[in-house]
Chain A
């Protein structure tokens, strides 16, 4: 049973480009959580999705950021017109019961905006 898979592991984008981060949850998990981690900081909650629905996006910036979790395929975190301040590690976690305290984390995508 593979764990939470995130890709790419590293992503470099120029300012103004779009970044797409993918997260495939563990098999059987239908709940996905995205977190952002700045260097030397703890993780900050961004968004919680269940298949085809956004449940809680209170931690996600209103502009340029969006997330989806389609019926088929991975969850996508999309950042449009990236800026240097978007450089961070983005982690995805998944759970099978909507309890993010029992979620498993992926290895993260490290986004660098140049």
Chain B
């Protein structure tokens, strides 16, 4: 089965609130993780990544947290905007597989932002 999954398939938030999207993984060999945003009718767009030697990484309005103990990562979006409405995927990548490794995607969480 899938080694990457998401706790919540849908998330609805009010504009201006913070959003938290969660992801669980089971492959302890995975040491690189990426969050993607996919808008309707478009391909995935890279948001932020994190390596397993880190537990937190911040970008513009986004923060990714990694908890290796429980194999969990989350994406936090600050001051959520209508343009953030999309499906968000986490993906894992076992770096020990080198360039021939492939990304393993979770099923995704749909984020809806209410004005």
Chain A contact residues, CB within 8 Å of chain B: 4, 33, 35, 40-45, 48, 55-56, 58-59, 91, 93, 98-101, 104-108
Contacts and interface: CB of A to CB of B under 8 A. Distances in A.
Interface string B26-68: 0000001010000001111110010000000000000000000
A107 B42 CA distance: 5
Contacts of B99: 55, 98-100
19 contacts: A33-B102, A42-B89, A43-B44, A43-B91, A45-B103, A45-B104, A55-B99, A55-B100, A56-B100, A58-B102, A59-B102, A91-B43, A98-B99, A100-B93, A101-B49, A101-B93, A101-B103, A106-B43, A107-B41
B102 A42 contact: no
B72 interface: no
Interface of B: 2, 4, 32, 34, 41-46, 49, 89, 91, 93, 99-108
Nearest to B5: A42
A60 to B, nearest CB: 11
Given A35-B105, A101-B32, 10 more contacts: A41-B107, A42-B108, A43-B105, A44-B105, A91-B43, A100-B99, A100-B101, A105-B45, A107-B41, A107-B43
A99 B95 CA distance: 10
B105 A42 contact: yes
Contacts of A41: 107-108
Contacts of B44: 43, 91, 105
